[in-house]
Amino acid sequence: MGGATGHPPEAAVARALDGLSIPDDADDAEAAAIAAAVGAHLRDREVAAAEAADDDASWHGRRWAFAGRVDRLQGRPVRVPTGTPTDPWTAAGRIDRF
Protein backbone atom coordinates (compact mmCIF):
# COMPACT_ATOMS: atom_id res chain seq x y z
CA MET A 1 0.00 0.00 0.00
CA GLY A 2 1.18 3.52 -0.67
CA GLY A 3 1.85 6.20 1.89
CA ALA A 4 0.21 9.59 2.05
CA THR A 5 2.25 10.62 -0.99
CA GLY A 6 1.23 7.58 -3.03
CA HIS A 7 4.75 6.13 -2.94
CA PRO A 8 5.39 2.65 -1.54
CA PRO A 9 6.39 2.65 2.15
CA GLU A 10 9.87 1.43 1.26
CA ALA A 11 10.44 4.54 -0.86
CA ALA A 12 9.26 6.78 1.98
CA VAL A 13 11.64 5.06 4.39
CA ALA A 14 14.51 5.38 1.93
CA ARG A 15 13.81 9.12 1.53
CA ALA A 16 13.61 9.59 5.30
CA LEU A 17 16.89 7.75 5.86
CA ASP A 18 18.76 9.54 3.08
CA GLY A 19 21.68 11.35 4.66
CA LEU A 20 21.22 9.68 8.06
CA SER A 21 24.41 8.30 9.52
CA ILE A 22 25.45 6.74 12.79
CA PRO A 23 28.66 8.17 14.23
CA ASP A 24 31.70 5.94 13.78
CA ASP A 25 32.43 6.07 17.51
CA ALA A 26 28.92 4.90 18.51
CA ASP A 27 28.90 1.64 20.44
CA ASP A 28 26.25 -1.06 19.92
CA ALA A 29 23.89 0.40 22.55
CA GLU A 30 24.08 3.88 21.03
CA ALA A 31 23.52 2.54 17.53
CA ALA A 32 20.52 0.55 18.78
CA ALA A 33 19.12 3.65 20.50
CA ILE A 34 19.49 5.69 17.31
CA ALA A 35 17.81 2.94 15.26
CA ALA A 36 14.94 2.71 17.78
CA ALA A 37 14.44 6.48 17.77
CA VAL A 38 14.43 6.65 13.98
CA GLY A 39 12.04 3.69 13.79
CA ALA A 40 9.68 5.30 16.30
CA HIS A 41 9.79 8.58 14.40
CA LEU A 42 8.98 6.88 11.09
CA ARG A 43 6.12 4.95 12.71
CA ASP A 44 4.74 8.17 14.27
CA ARG A 45 4.80 9.85 10.85
CA GLU A 46 2.98 6.89 9.33
CA VAL A 47 0.31 6.94 12.05
CA ALA A 48 -0.11 10.72 11.77
CA ALA A 49 -0.52 10.48 8.00
CA ALA A 50 -3.12 7.73 8.39
CA GLU A 51 -5.02 9.75 11.01
CA ALA A 52 -4.92 12.85 8.85
CA ALA A 53 -6.38 10.88 5.95
CA ASP A 54 -9.09 9.48 8.23
CA ASP A 55 -9.85 12.89 9.73
CA ASP A 56 -10.56 14.30 6.29
CA ALA A 57 -13.15 11.60 5.64
CA SER A 58 -15.45 11.82 8.67
CA TRP A 59 -15.99 13.07 12.19
CA HIS A 60 -14.94 9.76 13.89
CA GLY A 61 -16.70 10.61 17.16
CA ARG A 62 -15.66 14.27 17.11
CA ARG A 63 -19.22 15.13 16.18
CA TRP A 64 -20.34 14.58 19.77
CA ALA A 65 -17.47 16.61 21.18
CA PHE A 66 -18.40 19.43 18.80
CA ALA A 67 -22.05 19.22 19.94
CA GLY A 68 -20.90 19.38 23.57
CA ARG A 69 -18.75 22.40 22.86
CA VAL A 70 -21.69 24.19 21.23
CA ASP A 71 -23.85 23.31 24.24
CA ARG A 72 -21.28 24.72 26.67
CA LEU A 73 -20.66 27.89 24.68
CA GLN A 74 -24.20 28.68 23.57
CA GLY A 75 -26.16 27.05 26.37
CA ARG A 76 -28.28 24.98 24.01
CA PRO A 77 -28.04 21.37 22.95
CA VAL A 78 -27.58 20.67 19.26
CA ARG A 79 -27.60 17.59 17.06
CA VAL A 80 -24.77 17.72 14.57
CA PRO A 81 -25.92 15.99 11.35
CA THR A 82 -23.64 13.36 9.85
CA GLY A 83 -23.43 15.41 6.65
CA THR A 84 -21.94 18.40 8.46
CA PRO A 85 -18.59 19.52 7.01
CA THR A 86 -15.73 17.91 8.91
CA ASP A 87 -13.70 21.11 9.00
CA PRO A 88 -14.38 22.63 12.46
CA TRP A 89 -14.33 26.22 11.17
CA THR A 90 -16.86 25.46 8.46
CA ALA A 91 -19.04 23.52 10.88
CA ALA A 92 -18.89 26.38 13.40
CA GLY A 93 -20.17 28.73 10.73
CA ARG A 94 -23.28 26.56 10.39
CA ILE A 95 -24.14 26.24 14.08
CA ASP A 96 -27.34 28.24 13.60
CA ARG A 97 -28.63 25.45 11.32
CA PHE A 98 -28.20 22.66 13.88
Query: How does pLDDT run across 32-76, given as a tens digit for each residue?
Result: 999 899 888 888 888 888 777 765 556 767 888 888 888 998 899
Do 75 and 48 reside in the same domain of the chain? no
Do 16 and 1 reside in the same domain of the chain? yes
Burial readout 53-85 (b: 16 or more C-beta within 10 A, e: otherwise): eeeeeebeeebeebbeebeeeeeeebebeeebe
Do 50 and 3 reside in the same domain of the chain? yes
* pLDDT given for residue 29 in this prediction: 94
Residue-by-residue DSSP string for 52-67? HHHHHH--TTHHHHHH
In which domain, by residue range, is 32 found? 1-57
Do 40 and 65 reside in the same domain of the chain? no
Report how far apart the first and last C-alpha atoms of the chain are (Å, whole number). Answer: 39
How many domains, in total, are found in the chain? 2
